[in-house]
Amino acid sequence: MTVLPRPRAARFATFMFFGLNGFAMGMWVVHIPNVERATGISHSTLGALLLVLGGAAFAGMQVSGPLVDRLGHRRMVPAAGILMGLAVCGPGFATSWWALGLSLIFFGFGNGAIDVGMNSHAVVVERAYPRPIMAAFHAMWSIGGAFAAVIGAATLGAGVPTGVTLTGTGLVCVLLSVVSARFLMEPADAPAASAEAAEPVRTRRTPGRVVWLLGLLALALMLSEGVANDWAALHMEKVLGTSASTAALAYGAFAVAMTTGRFLTDRVAAWAGPAAIVRYGATLAAVGLTTAAAAPWVPVSLVGWALFGLGLSGGVPQLFTAAGNLDTRASGALMARVVGLGYVGLLAGPALIGGLTRWMPLNVTFAVPVVLCVLAALFAGVLSPKPEPAEQPVG
């Protein structure tokens, strides 16, 4: 089936928003040490303020979901992008803990709002295509973060003030959000590319129950991702006794494998289906993390981290797509629940592992995400529910 030009333009605009979100978050992350020094706060205070950012992001998700359904994607997604762009400037000029905290509330809220808005819009765009395309959008988020790492390193090396760099980042976000707004689609604009997309499958489960199951699966997989983000390099350094530079390869192997996997997932999902992506991906992730945690040699551990990233790469996009398609009239609100629970997992994972290290070795604590991946594999069938039996005629 030939895809209409409008879905192609909307797809490109969605790529833009995912990339901008990854870029803005990445630029903030690489400048955290500078911001900490400028404000004179301690590590513990910074940790508390990062929780404030996370809480504001969760609030932004819950507020923006229903607003997307009510006001539409053409209004809400660019508005969230503009808010994120304006808010990312704030931390660069903060000189006290309270000023930083206030700026992080706005930045977190904008980040949460665009997260739900762009994922909800991605589901709309995907309906107009004859194949899955969601995972590639998530890969663009990773690409945006990679660009931020390179550009941030260059500006830091050149001595550019943090406020100037983050202001430039914000202006890029605002400008591209405004330019991309006209290419966005609403649900009524998206012609179904297949009979399955045109008529959602009726199931024995209510959308309310299914969305919570999807949210718990997202929490399990994103908690596992958060563990890799914060603990992969430390595991390599503390458990295997490597140098800091070698330890960094653990997160690098995970991140590269995850990004590559997301670019490949859509083609595999078109052939095998979303349930298979979650089931076998989560199983591969469990095997990979077990290998990374148990391996006594660095090369084998790196292979384990790469398998962990590859296994996790495709699952979350399938869950977001399923949530957005449960009820097209409340796609944003349903998406907000699943994205919000996933975000809770992403934040909670590193803290949970940190707390467990008081009683057991770091590599043993990885049993928690391994078990969660196994559970995700077992419950992946929620993505392919059995249709209701046809009603029997009376008499």
Asked if CATH classification 1.20.1250.20 holds for the domain at 206-382, the reply, yes or no, is yes
What average pLDDT does the segment 97-112 reach? 94
Confidence band for 306, pLDDT divided at 50, 70 and 90:
very high
Neighbours of 4 (CB within 10 A): 14
In this prediction, residues 360-367 reach a mean pLDDT of: 90
What digits encode the pLDDT tens for the residues 239-265? 888 887 788 788 888 989 999 999 999
Q: 5-189: what fold? A: Growth Hormone; Chain: A; (1.20.1250)
Q: What's the pTM value of the predicted model, to 2 decimals?
A: 0.85
Q: How far apart, in whole angstroms, are the C-alpha atoms of residue 312 and residue 289?
A: 11
Please name the residue that has the structure tokens 């303020």.
49
Burial (0-12, 13-18, 19+ Cβ within 10 Å), 207: middle
pLDDT, tens digit, 9 for 90 and up, residues 185-229: 988 776 555 444 444 434 445 567 889 999 999 999 999 998 888
Q: Which residues pair with 203 in a beta bridge?
A: 387
Q: Is the pLDDT of residue 392 over 90?
A: no
Mean pLDDT of the chain: 87
Q: What angle do CA 134, 337, 84 make, to 5 degrees?
A: 70
- Per mean pLDDT, which range of 165-169, 172-176, 191-195, 387-391 is the poorest? 387-391
User: Could you tell me if 107 and 90 are in contact, meaning their C-beta atoms sit under 8 angstroms apart?
Assistant: yes
pLDDT at 353: 85
* Cβ neighbours for 290, distance < 8 A, ≥ 6 positions apart: 304, 366, 370
Start and end residues for every CATH 1.20.1250.20 domain found in the chain: 5-189, 206-382
In the chain, count H helices and then E strands: 16, 0
Q: Tell me what pLDDT residue 195 has.
A: 43
pLDDT tens for 129-168 read: 888 999 999 999 989 988 888 898 888 889 999 999 999 9
pLDDT band at 234 (very low <50, low <70, confident <90, very high): confident
